[in-house]
Structure 1
């Protein structure tokens, strides 16, 4: 890095990596899009620096080529996408991740820069753990809970640390990876005061990992630990890792239950005392095995493989008593998990059963479109049609199944090649070079990220994408990857990046106005919400949610004013939303409601029926359809056509019959809800000439 432009691009990348976890894991689009804009800006600045150096061709290594190939597959999925807007966002996101991956490989060639970034990530993990502890004790003032748009609320709930990622399992995965990196830094640090700081960070990271308490992450961590031992190979290095982990695990066996009680009951002083006891115990145990003493110990026991195996057995026992069974110091008993919370995350609960249900339903979707999938956001757009029973999730809890759902086999192949190629050269290089380095620990971190993401929704969050691709880029930057000179003039990627940069600004601003409109609408400010949403549509004509909200707003105004123009406007906006997302059962139900207001009962029924076909297991859909019929009868009982009354009777019976029929296909059938029964009864009552006063369905 010699020019100012290169340095500016470098610091932008650092800024992105450091801050991304604090914005709710940049999960919603209104958080993610500004970060995509920053990535495009960093890449654009770097390309300008290349132009100034008079470079003519754009060069890519093999991993970079496959990453860009994955992004290109997402471009083609837009053609077949179930949700055009979601697929566009997914494509732009993957282009941004590919650009970030490329920048990491370009910037972090020097070992000192690699270690600097890794140290920053470890510090970040320690800060995230500390902030979650502060939130548990309500130490973060309300005025700072949304500091500069960062979310410092909800960092601890349900007795588990969620951190700024807002999801415990993802936080646990993040901490587990940083734990491997932190162990290496702690072991290699020679300066005593730096070692002290790194020790505090390591203990905070372990605490965050432990109290995020994710069963899946714990199991994956133990598997990854074995993978790390395979990479490290030398017994003295493995012994060092085992001893450091033992220094962390042993105090936790006795303190975990009490620390959990202090967190859940918000007892900061008691917590601080116990935390310091644990930290002191960790330092005492770890400093008993300083590097020179470890070597002395290993030299003595090298001839005795039995002792080495005993160390591993002890580590396994410690892990079992920390991750699965805890010791209650007060009652001198062992309890499973964190008492009742342990049962909540055990194998016997519905959480595991749900995961297998998601996977089975995802496979149904993949069988329908195996080649190119359903496009970005395809699962969220279409899973209601493939449900085995009623549930709600926007991600199938598996990165690979989600990739297959969204981009089919054509998308999964380059992704798997990128991952296996990276781990392959990591394993080969560590076998050839047995000197101690960060590479095995980085390899273990990457292994954990992509193994855990096979059973969880980590990659639903933009910040996790940034974290994962940054670590993978750092790992690959240790190897001499040959650049392939493509016959692509540099001006082409420069112009394309400029287009993506401008597009992301428009999309980000549209999302801002969409959220503003939602806030105005919540306060019943029709005028300002309409203005905000119209601005959002002008900035992003493909935002189906905005169009749907405008349709709802127009129909509400029609109900107040009875002006036909607002009803027609509602239909127009709803149709535009359906053109963008043609499989949304709520959009079809809403259009049916509008047809019902126009008195076109047959047209309304077509949409209601299709809505039920799109979401056969969603009970609320059936209830809202019957509620619309009941509203029509109550508002127009005296003026309504007798033929319409008989139609509504037939349609009501069919809705009820369809619900019962679809529940017979469900793997977890549910009887009709109380509300559905009351709605049908009230419709029958009105059709029979009665009224529905004091009914449960009045509201």
Structure 2
């Protein structure tokens, strides 16, 4: 007879053997990261300084998790099958970003991108191997869904005016809470308040919501436990309501697309259930959408609202949907399985409902856009739907981004322009003066950053994983399908939406996608790769050696960057509170010691050094500042702020010719910067006029010619902007200013062509001549006309009426000779 106590101990031992301490530590670490990460403003991509710290902390956490992964899997690792080789593929992604450093438009942004892509690779590898363990898969999937539901509730609390309450709960571990309120959880723009939750960008939040809406629907139909079904069903209304409150047209457009694609992977009974759940939760949401929307708008527009009333609507609708879901799963679902059994056995049986859904979606869209049915939605949501067309500004602007991205790709075809390149380089290639540090397309931005090589590496790998997953999905049993389908839903939803937005610039979203790709790869059939097979210790040593070295580099680089960022923030605080030069200088020097040529640290330190030079006129300060800026520009050759500070530094010492060279040499990098061209035209005139006074004719012509070229560039640019499609806005101001026309006209006049000068002056004439500054250009304009034999009585009368003494001034200019 066996000893029951021994048997129990043996069973416990076997359980621990299948789930060792290292794996527990890895799972707990990953879950803690998934809870922490989204509240760091969605972990944006490091293009904005406020988001730097969390990026570097993420890299540090990722490096530590990689070392824990080695501890857990060192003895089990081998490179024998296709699944194992995806772990090699993913390391090529950060490698392509390292190669892109060679031609990086910004070394600073490119290095941030290397850290981020290294984190993604680690998350993928952890997902690939950890999720093969069924228990680990259940824990991580449950945690992932739970975090998503928390994000949804967090967003609604903010919408209904309880943002300070929930912000207090997360404020202790995130700097995104400012003044007691999570920053930009609610966006306010021309459309009114828009829900953004932790992401600070409504469109990305919409992509996130779309993914987890379908995850929730899937979880209802998969579960056999009534309370689990009820929990997921309860969240359907908050998710759909949040999606509507984002006012994201892209989210609403892509929602039916992803839904129909996912239906193709389900049996007819499940397809019907999915349609039922989306319909009943959608109708329940529409029933409460107007009052909840209005309550949120009232609060965020400064009026008094009633959060309890808003939550009453949400809770009642959610409870009704949860109750219906329980009834449907208990009674309707088994019946559907029976009556659709023969239907499901047919070869193309699963295609009928997706086809019908396509037709139904087309009809619904037509009704919403072409009839009064849109009025069932809250006013601002209906208005946004009504404006969906290919001639609206946001669509036209996106197409412009993509065309401009193609121009960049032509100049950086193979290796790309480095991580974050679009933010650095887009002004050189832009078609009109828009401001967008994102290309609004993951695919196009990826091509810009790492070129064709990196693009092929990434999308060939993703394509292979999708192919293997889908192929295995239809060959496997329902239990195995259900175990990993959540990851497929997340990846598919986010990547499709990312075709026309920059969701993947959020590190948390990237983490979700690469964890999802790891989950899809984990269930891949283990087909041997005989030619590339590396067995035993060889594979372990090679691969784990690479992981160890990469992890250590990631950890130590992240630590240095965290230290640099902390020192920078301390220096900025001291600049606002202290007047002690040495005290303020120390943290900036520390920041640059930890991360050389950090552009924000350079700009701040430059302000300090220039102030010291202007106060003391000590050459050492000027020399140090000049070295600081020129060194940074070698690694940041497109940083407009650095160039502007360099030109300003030259001017502070009276070296105007050098300041002019900075403006002229880099004008092509900022094709639609009105201020840049205005400065260039003014500096060209000033230096040319000085040359004229000293008799340096060639110098005068050089400066005047370049100034007139700059003016001609502006004129042509203004004409080009008139050709933009009707629905597309110009963007930032770009026009011939009075200052441009005045100085360009003077240059043309002094080069002996008064007729052309008059035409230039005319472009900058103001309506009002009461301001003495406005009268100067009118004076020169009338003098140029007089010399060339023309006249403008209207302008003359207005000018003399404003100041009768201007008549003598006009004659005086007309008598000048050059």
The question of a shared fold, defined as TM-score above 0.5 by the shorter chain, is answered with yes
Range with bigger deviation, 600-609 or 408-417 = 600-609
Shift of the alpha carbon at 1:580? 1.1
**How big is each residue's C-alpha offset from its partner over 1:154-206, in whole Å with a ceiling of 9 and x where there is no partner?**
21223321011111111111111111221122223333333333332333223
Q: Which residue of 2 aligns with 1:251?
A: 284
**1:443 equivalent in structure 2:** 488
Query: Which segments of 5 or more consecutive residues in structure 2 lack a partner in the other structure?
Result: 1-17, 45-50, 177-181, 300-304, 344-348, 725-729, 751-769, 775-818
Alpha-carbon distance between aligned partners in 2 of 1:9 and 1:654, rounded to the nearest angstrom: 62
Larger Rg: 2
Residues in 1 aligned to 2:354 and 2:669: alpha-carbon distance in whole angstroms: 57
Q: 1:337 to 1:401 in 2, by over 3 A?
A: same
Change (3 A) 1:472 1:56: closer
2-side partners of 1:412 and 1:526: how far apart? 50
- 1:290 matched residue in structure 2: 329
1:96/1:553 CA distance change after superposition, 3 Å? same
Q: Tell me by how many angstroms 1:650 deviates.
A: 6.8
The alpha-carbon distance between structure 1 residues 459 and 84, as it changes in their structure 2 partners (threshold 3 A), is same
What's 2:603 paired with?
A: 548
Relative CO higher for 1 or 2, CA cutoff 8 Å, sep ≥ 6? 1
* CA distance, structure 2, for counterparts of residue 210 and residue 335 of structure 1: 9
Residues 216-615 of structure 1: pairs in structure 2 closer than 5 A: 216-232=250-266, 234-266=267-299, 267=305, 268-297=307-336, 299-300=338-339, 312=357, 316=361, 320=365, 338-342=381-385, 347-433=390-476, 435=478, 437-438=481-482, 439-481=484-526, 484-485=533-534, 487=539, 488-489=541-542, 490-521=544-575, 527=581, 528-615=583-670
**What RMSD in Å do the two structures reach over aligned CA positions?**
3.8
Distance in 1 between the 2:175 and 2:641 partners?
Answer: 32
**Residue 67 of structure 2 corresponds to residue 24 of structure 1:** no
Distance 1:370 1:381, change over 3 A: same
* 1:62-94 C-alpha deviation (Å, 9 max, x unpaired): 222221112212111111212122222212221
User: Residue 228 of structure 1 contacts residue 444 of structure 1 at CA under 8 Å; is this kept in 2?
Assistant: yes
Task: Kindly indicate whether the alpha-carbon contact (under 8 Å) linking 1:22 and 1:150 is maintained by their aligned counterparts in 2.
Answer: no
Structure 1, gaps ≥5 residues long: none
Query: Which residue of 1 is the match for residue 147 of structure 2?
Result: 124
Does residue 246 of structure 2 align to residue 212 of structure 1? yes
Residue 21 (structure 1) shift = 1.0
1:38 paired to 2:55 = no
- The change in CA–CA distance for 1:223 and 1:303 in structure 2 (over 3 A counts) is same
Give the secondary-structure state (helix, strand or coil) at the position aligned to 1:24. Answer: coil
Corresponding residue for residue 199 of structure 2: 165
CA separation of 1:348 and 1:264: change in aligned 2, threshold 3 A:
farther
Which residue does the alignment assign to 2:28?
A: 11
Is 2:176 aligned against 1:153? no
Aligned with 1:157: secondary structure? strand
8 Å CA contact 1:257–1:338 kept in 2: the answer is no
Distance in 1 of aligned mates of 2:85 and 2:78: 20
Q: Secondary structure at the match of 2:416?
A: coil
Q: How many pairs were matched up?
A: 684
Query: By how many angstroms is 1:395 displaced?
Result: 1.7
Question: Residues 423 and 18 of structure 1: is their aligned pair in 2 closer, same or farther, counting only changes over 3 Å?
Answer: same
* Cα distance change, pair 105–326 in 1 and its aligned pair in 2 (3 A): farther
Q: What is the distance in 1 between the residues matched to 2:107 and 2:354?
A: 56
Q: Deviations over 1:471-523 (max 9, x none)?
A: 11122212344685365544453233212211111012212222333344455
Find the aligned partners of 1:385 and 1:207 in 2 and give their Cα distance.
41
How far apart are residue 410 of structure 1 and its match? Answer: 0.7
Distance 1:125 1:655, change over 3 A: same
Q: TM-score w.r.t. structure 2 length?
A: 0.75
1:681–1:37 CA distance, 2 compared to 1 (3 A): same
Counterpart secondary structure, 2:117: helix
Structure 1 residue 346, shift from structure 2 partner? 5.7
